[in-house]
C-alpha cells in the first residue's frame, strides 16, 4: 500500500464520516420532532382531562338517578300521608302530627327538586367540557399523525442518503492500512471527528494552525505524519 495514497483515502474517509455524522444529527434533531413530542404530550394531557371529565359526568348522572329515586319515594310517601290526613278519622293530636309530617315531606321534596335542577345544570356544563375535550383530542391526534407522517418521510430520505454514504465508507476502509484506521478512529473520538487534516502551505487542515518549516519537517518524519499542535494525522 502506497503510504500517501492511504493517507489521502483516510482524508476521504473523514469527509464521508463527517457527512454521516451530519445526517445522523439531522435525523435525531428534526424540527418536527419537537412539535411531535409537544403534540404527544398534549394528547396525553387532554386524554387525562377527558377521562376525568367523563368520570365527573358519570358521578353526576349517578347522583341525579339517586336523588330522583329518593324524590319519587318521598313524593309517594307524602301523597299517601296526605290521603290519610284528608280521609279523616284521626284524633286532633294524630292529625296535627300527620300534617307536620306532610309539610316536612313536601319541604324535603322541594329541596330534592332544587338539588336535581342544580345537578342537571352541572351535567350540562360537564357535557360541554367533554365535547370540547373530545374535539381538542381529535385535533391534536390528527396533528400528531400528520407530524409522524412527515417525520417518517424525512427519515426515509435521510436513511437513503446514509445508505449511500455507508456504502462509500465500506469501499474506502479496505484500501486504508489497518493501523491507520485504528489510529483514525481513536482520534475521531477524542477530537470531535477531526482526526485528519490536509497539510497545505504549512497549515494543518484539522486545527488550522501554521507549522514552521522545522515543525513541518518534524511532522513529516513521523509515521504517519502528525500535527505537532493537535496531533491529527497530516496528509501532505
pLDDT digits (tens, 9 = 90+) for 221-236: 998 999 999 999 999 8
Residue 221 lies in a domain: no
Tell me the per-residue pLDDT of 167-211, one tens digit each, with 9 for 90 and over: 999 999 999 989 999 999 999 988 887 899 999 999 999 999 999
Q: Are 236 and 225 in contact (CB under 8 A)?
A: yes
Grid coordinates representing 5? 495514497
Please say if the pLDDT value at position 2 is more than 50.
no
Average pLDDT rounded to a whole number, residues 28-45: 96
Number of domains forming the structure of the chain: 1
Please say if the pLDDT value at position 23 is more than 60.
yes
Answer whether 0.85 is exceeded by the pTM. Answer: no
Residue 136 lies in a domain: yes
pLDDT of residue 4: 55
Grid coordinates representing 233? 494525522
Task: Using DSSP bridges, classify how beta strands 196-200 and 233-235 pair: parallel, antiparallel or unpaired.
Answer: parallel
Residue 77 lies in a domain: yes
| Counts of helices then strands in the chain (DSSP H, E) | 5, 3
Here the CATH number for the domain that contains residue 168 is: 1.10.287
Residue 203 lies in a domain: no
Strand partners, 226: 233
Average pLDDT rounded to a whole number, residues 156-169: 97
Residue 209 lies in a domain: no
pLDDT of residue 126: 97
Q: Are 155 and 28 in contact (CB under 8 A)?
A: no
Residue 20 lies in a domain: no
pLDDT of residue 83: 87
Computed on alpha carbons and rounded to an integer, the radius of gyration of the chain in Å comes to 41
Average pLDDT rounded to a whole number, residues 56-81: 95
SS3 content of the chain, % helix, strand, coil (to 5): 80, 5, 15
Residue 146 lies in a domain: yes
State the residue range of the domain holding 145.
29-173
Amino acid at each position: 500500500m502506497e503510504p500517501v495514497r492511504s493517507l489521502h483515502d483516510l482524508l476521504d474517509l473523514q469527509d464521508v464520516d463527517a457527512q454521516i455524522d451530519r445526517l445522523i444529527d439531522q435525523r435525531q434533531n428534526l424540527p418536527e420532532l419537537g412539535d411531535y413530542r409537544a403534540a404527544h404530550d398534549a394528547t396525553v394531557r387532554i386524554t387525562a382531562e377527558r377521562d376525568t371529565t367523563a368520570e365527573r359526568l358519570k358521578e353526576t348522572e349517578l347522583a341525579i338517578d339517586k336523588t330522583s329515586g329518593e324524590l319519587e319515594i318521598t313524593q309517594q310517601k307524602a301523597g299517601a300521608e296526605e290521603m290519610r290526613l284528608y280521609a279523616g278519622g284521626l284524633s286532633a293530636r294524630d292529625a296535627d302530627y300527620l300534617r307536620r309530617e306532610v309539610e316536612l315531606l313536601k319541604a324535603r321534596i322541594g329541596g330534592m327538586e332544587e338539588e336535581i335542577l342544580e345537578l342537571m345544570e352541572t351535567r350540562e356544563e360537564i357535557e360541554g367540557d367533554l365535547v370540547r375535550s373530545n374535539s381538542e383530542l381529535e385535533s391534536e391526534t390528527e396533528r400528531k399523525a400528520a407530524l409522524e407522517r412527515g417525520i417518517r418521510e424525512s427519515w426515509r430520505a435521510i436513511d437513503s442518503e446514509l445508505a449511500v454514504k455507508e456504502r462509500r465508507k465500506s469501499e474506502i476502509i479496505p484500501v486504508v492500512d489497518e493501523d491507520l484506521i485504528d489510529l483514525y478512529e481513536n482520534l475521531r473520538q477524542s477530537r470531535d471527528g477531526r482526526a485528519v487534516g490536509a497539510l497545505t502551505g504549512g497549515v494543518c487542515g484539522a486545527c488550522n494552525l501554521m507549522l514552521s518549516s522545522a515543525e513541518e519537517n518534524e511532522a513529516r518524519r513521523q509515521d504517519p505524519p502528525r500535527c505537532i499542535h493537535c496531533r491529527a494525522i497530516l496528509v501532505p
